[in-house]
Structure 1
Amino acid sequence: MELIKQTKDSSLAKIQASYLDENAVVLTEKQQLIKNRLAHAWGLRLNDKYSPHQIIQILMREHKISQATAYRDYNWAMQIFGNLDATYLAAEKQVLKEALWDTYQRAKQQGELAVEIKALKEYRSLFNFDESENQVDPNKIQAHEYRIQLVRWAYPKLAEMFEGGVLDFNNLNVEDVEFKEQIQTDEDEQD
């Protein structure tokens, strides 16, 4: 997940909004060109199975844009339409599973025992049947303690939210700031 600070008038926000409701946002000619490039990048990745590097090269060549712009367009396309790179391995595994199962079924219908066994062995290799697969990772379920120190003006806002019974942190009028971890020593705790 990527955190991005956006203004309401950013090109990415407008393009995203135009996909949700075409009548809600009027795109400039430049934003429409960007939208077309994003759709082109997505189509190249999804339909033509090009690698990210190949897509960058195609965008640079066909749309006459810089490498930095091509990378930005590719990243924006993945944000808007969904990151195929994150799901690529799972998708490839699914395609292989289906192909191997089809091979197994055809071999079974034709009575080819050797091909059946080979297809089932390959199919089985796609799964992790080890005992370690079903074990629980204790670090994932371990209790964690977080100490959050708020600025003084935030306390009244939290008190208002508690009175309403619902804590809605999405509708606070705040802005992101740089994070700095503070390590507290034993001497600080005793004071």
Structure 2
Amino acid sequence: MSLVTTKDTHLDNIIASYMDETSVELSAFELKMKERIKTAFSLLLNWRSREQAANVMMEQFEVSQATAYRDISRALIIYGDINKAGKEGHRYIIMEYNHKLLQLATKEKNLEQMGRALDRYMKLADLDKEENRVNLEKLAAMDITVNISKSSEKAIAGMLQGGVVDLNNFEAEDTEFEEVKDAEE
């Protein structure tokens, strides 16, 4: 069976252009497609449904409904589906909208709305929570007692006379143990 290779698709070239603009030269058709894809994603970011985005695309770029929906699908392939974004992705989008609300409130000189927007921002950025402090008591020096057999003690003492204790090259066997919990836990 032989391997058949084909030319890169327009979408492959556009994706490659995002990775490294100098790696591929886009054709005029691909440049137009890239612009439509950017617009499609921008419409989705502005909380337009796919149907609404397709209608805007059909009107703005004079493309068919099928092409508009293909461009929307390509945008989701390149940029990702914002509806499936993780918690951090949603947080970022909400923070951007909150920033827009802050700008509007500032423009209208509405101090109450400005304060609310800043409070929401602090909450979204977790600035209202106390940072986890390190418990220095747990890092304090502690005595650890290890019981070893006489033969192991002799082997370690012999290694110490040589200057190096190599525990990776040491005949040892695993033994059963029980983890002891602190009273605080």
TM bucket, shorter chain: 0.3 to 0.5
TM-score normalized with structure 1 length: 0.43
Larger CA Rg, structure 1 vs 2 = 2
